[in-house]
Amino acid sequence: MRTHVVASLAAAAASAILVVGCSDNSTDSSMDGHSMGSMSSTSAASDQTSSSEQFNDADVMFAQMMYPHHAQAVEMADMANGRTENPDVLALASAIAAAQQPEMDRMTAWLADWGQPAPSADMGQMGGMDHSSGSGMMTEQDMDALMASSGPEFDRQWLTMMIDHHTGAIEMAETEIAEGTDPDAVEMARTIVDTQQQEIDTMQRLLG
């Protein structure tokens, strides 16, 4: 009888160990899956947060103001076709349009992601800024004069105006670098500073 009881207890203990072992494995597996799922969800939420909640007012201002600024630069670049045969000016105009149009598209996308109003190419959106306000924007009279010129006179006006325009863009970009929080916007601002300063140096050499 005693032997039978001992055997029964041993069997019960073995069964308990087996059940606990299975339970532990199941729990571990379940927890691992839950943990991995939670990590994935947290990572996705983090990515979404980083793309939609990391911006500040400086980033919004940068995108909304730089967009019409770029739009005017692209307009000036397009004017070179048919008004000059200077290969250096034509090459610069092409490079400016090629660089700034994609940047305009990115700024439009950022503002949409941020839930902010879409940018406008209307120069009035810049609060009446012109070349005298530090933004480098050309007035309507400036643009009309540039459009009416051709040949060497166009080259001189275009290079002079574009230097002012680039200088204003660099100042705006430096403000974004100092005050912005969105890493993509700040990165674009750094690119604008580097690229447009190089173009300013080239244009100054062309002016002599």
> In angstroms, rounded to a whole number, what is the distance separating the alpha carbons of residues 176 and 183?
10
User: Could you give the percent of the chain with pLDDT greater than 70?
Assistant: 69
The CATH code for residues 55-207 is 1.20.1260.10
> In angstroms, rounded to a whole number, what is the distance separating the alpha carbons of residues 129 and 134?
8
Q: Where are the domains of the chain?
A: 1-53, 55-207
- Closest CA relative to residue 79, chosen from 122, 172, 143, 133: 143
pLDDT in tens, 167-194: 999 999 999 999 999 999 999 999 999 9
pLDDT in tens, 124-160: 554 444 333 458 999 999 999 999 999 999 999 999 9
Residue 196 contacts residue 170 (beta carbons within 8 Å): yes
